[in-house]
Amino acid sequence: MKSAWAFAFANLRRNRKRNLATVAAIAFGYAGLVLLGGYAVRIERFLKANAVFIQHANHVAVWVQGGLDNAAAEPDKYQFDKAQTDTILAWAKGDKRVERATRYLRGFGMAGNACATRPANLLGIDPQEHAALLQHPELLEASPELARPAQGQWAYQVKDAPRGVALAAGLQKVLQKPKVFDEVRGRPPAPTVLDCDTPKAVEQLAADADIQIVGQTYDGTLNAVDGQMVASFHAAEPIAEDTAMIVPLASLQTLYATERITYVGLLLHDSADAGQVALDLKAALAAKDMKTDTYTYADQTWAPYYVGTMAFLGSMVGFITMLVTAVLVFTVAGAMTLAILERLREFGTWRALGFERGHVVGLLVRESLLVSLIGLAVGLAIGLCAAFAINSGGFRFSPPGVAGSIQLLITPAVWACAAQAMLLPPGIMVATWWVVRGQMRKKPVDLLNAATA
């Protein structure tokens, strides 16, 4: 005798066209969800890499307590001194979960071209530490395009420019420096005094990649350092496009006449440890009388662009998933209703032979479950093939903060496919149970005499 499952499977052969249509509806619906989930996973990886490596959130960041809000106004009070920095670096070195630590100094200043100055938002980072971030496999896997400057090369790649700086493309434009260091190397330098008020100025400014950075030391003295513009880049936020500048940490510390840093970023071997590492670090520093705030890349206050975008994307994907699932559930419920109405006499026979209502309901629920599982399997195959085709198609688009375009990639994740697939069978089972239950309330004699049989 066939098992209940085998019997349910055999019944699927009865109305092949209708069952095929139902399977196709589930398959294409689920394939759509696989693609949507794959797109969301890809975007999540991209945004996370952007936040962690490009916007320098790292997996965990540690600030002086209150520093995130106050360091800009009172840098002397809300930044780490040398000893505190060393304490943090020593803790990071001793923790196996930490891959590397990066020091950052943030500040304001003026960027000048010898004719004019513009406000600048300065980020100081050691070029070698910057190199480690930009060459990180997680970033390169997520999107190698993120690691490339819009023009030129990063400071760590230009050996003969010890004070190499990178400007946001908008700031580069307003400073009238169209060529980076590599492009003007070996050319005659611009005159010491430029003809700023004449048309010649444009040509003279473009002759070199020299930049002057002016700032106020922490004790209130005006100071300046020189830099060579080795690269330009696109800022993630349009408002930073005209002001952002990346400066070697040593240069920025010289400008502010300080050894202090603003925060330390920690890259972890596994980003899933971020929450615990943040807690442990905060506790360890507190034990050494250091009051700190620690943030993870998933903290809204520290990485608002990533967290906010993912929250929006998550709700959108969730809503569409629920919508598609509901449509598929009602599709299957409709098909099962037809199947049930056509087979009322058979169910009457089952009941006449002694089978209880639950037996018949169980049989039909099995049938609907099989339809949905077959549909899901086919849908997964279609979704994966479509993802492969899209990835092979080389479609490109330009997200903010990226030089040029990046490839549209769909990367379905096992957990996302499984989560979406797990929604459907219970919904279909409940819908089938609901439809069958109503019919099975009838007396066996009414089932046997059903007009639709």
The Cα 148–Cα 233 span in angstroms is 8
Burial of 238 (0-12, 13-18, 19+ CB in 10 A): exposed
By the rule CB under 8 A, 90 interacts with another protein: no
CB nearer to another protein: pick between 300 and 449? 449
Which residue stretch of 29-37, 137-145, 174-182, 347-355 sits at the interface with another protein (rule: CB under 8 A)? 347-355
The Cα 389–Cα 216 span in angstroms is 55
Which residue stretch of 6-14, 92-100, 272-280, 409-417 sits at the interface with another protein (rule: CB under 8 A)? 6-14
Q: What b/e readout covers 307-325, taking b as 16+ CB neighbours within 10 angstroms?
A: bebbeeeeeebeeebeebb
**Identified binder of another protein from the candidate list 280, 346, 377, 384, rule CB under 8 A:** 346
The Cα 362–Cα 14 span in angstroms is 18
Find the distance separating the first CA and the last CA of the chain, reported in whole Å: 25
**Identified binder of another protein from the candidate list 351, 383, 412, 433, rule CB under 8 A:** 351
Touching another protein, residues 174-213 (CB under 8 A) = none
Touching another protein, residues 14-43 (CB under 8 A) = 14
3-state secondary structure of 194: coil
By the rule CB under 8 A, 353 interacts with another protein: yes
By the rule CB under 8 A, 357 interacts with another protein: yes
By the rule CB under 8 A, 275 interacts with another protein: no
By the rule CB under 8 A, 342 interacts with another protein: no
Q: 253, 18, 257: which is closest to 122 by C-alpha?
A: 253
Give the torsion sign (CA, 340, 343, 346, 348): positive
How many residues touch another protein under the rule CB under 8 A: the total is 23
Question: Do the Cβ atoms of 389 and 333 come closer than 8 Å?
Answer: no
Residue type, 277: V
By the rule CB under 8 A, 349 interacts with another protein: yes
By the rule CB under 8 A, 354 interacts with another protein: yes
By the rule CB under 8 A, 443 interacts with another protein: yes
CB nearer to another protein: pick between 125 and 450? 450
As measured in angstroms, the least distance from the Cβ of 142 to another protein is 51
**Identified binder of another protein from the candidate list 10, 327, 419, 422, rule CB under 8 A:** 10
Our separate counts of H helices and E strands in the chain read 16, 12
CB nearer to another protein: pick between 103 and 351? 351
Q: 212, 211, 244: which is closest to 230 by C-alpha?
A: 211
Residues that bind another protein (CB under 8 A): 1-2, 7, 10-11, 13-14, 345-346, 348-357, 443-445, 448
